Amino acid sequence: MRARGMFGVRGSGDTSGYGRLAPPKPRHDNASRPFGGNHDVVADALESALAARGERWDDAVERAVLHRGELTLHIARTHLPAVASALRDDQALRFELCLGVSGVHQPGETGRELHAVYHLQSITHGRRVRLEVSVPESDPHIPSLCGIYPTTDWHERETYDFFGIEFDGHPSLTRIEMPDDWVGHPQRKDYPLGGIPVEFKGARIAPPDQRRSYN
């Protein structure tokens, strides 16, 4: 018997009654060309721009991820400045704006635990692309893009502050949220939750990391 949803909805996996829920689009973690749409225009133009700089696509781009219509290019860290410069300067690309830098910590990815993600926008062509660089915790160094995208200044500082990624060449890589003498990087997944005991109307509430097991 099929589930019956709200407002009399039948014969659908959408039991909310909203009627417009769609199944998630598949994620292609090792996508290959053709990607479809403007993604191929970007990829082809980037490959040509890199070749003009003496760089090879296969050396610079470790893999591509296509998910929900968005393209993420995983870049080898030594090639990041060349890729970013090509994306910014080539007339067929013109990604003039870096919208931000995000940090990600994936402890289970041995040798690639720390990720820096760059969100680029082409105002000229109305396109977006995402760059991602992965490095090990034992060597958390990534070239700074401040000289290419000045807007990354505070974003790189925040990513360093919370994740411990060191952006080589940054003009002033210091903490921006936490005190200067803070120990550790609080958005890593192995960082303790911390907190202080709280008393409320006679009840005692333990700090978050003592309330339950997260293992």
Domains of the chain: 26-210 (3.30.460.80)
Q: Which CA distances in Å does 141 have to 77, 79, 117, 138?
A: 8, 13, 14, 9
Q: Between these two residues, 191 and 115, which has the higher pLDDT value?
A: 115
For residues 161 and 198, which has the higher predicted lDDT (pLDDT)?
161
Please determine, for residue 62, whether its predicted confidence score (pLDDT) is greater than 50. Answer: yes
Read off φ and ψ for residue 77, nearest 5 degrees: -60, -35
The Cα 101–Cα 122 span in angstroms is 16
Distance, in Å, from the CA atom of 114 to the CA atom of 136, rounded to the nearest integer, reads: 6
Place of tokens 């309330």: 211
Rounded CA gap, 116 and 32, in Å?
Answer: 22
Say if residues 86 and 49 touch (Cβ distance below 8 Å): yes
Convert the pLDDT of each residue in 122-142 to its tens digit: 999 999 999 999 999 999 999
Q: What is the pLDDT of residue 1?
A: 43
In the chain, how many H helices and how many E strands? Answer: 4, 10
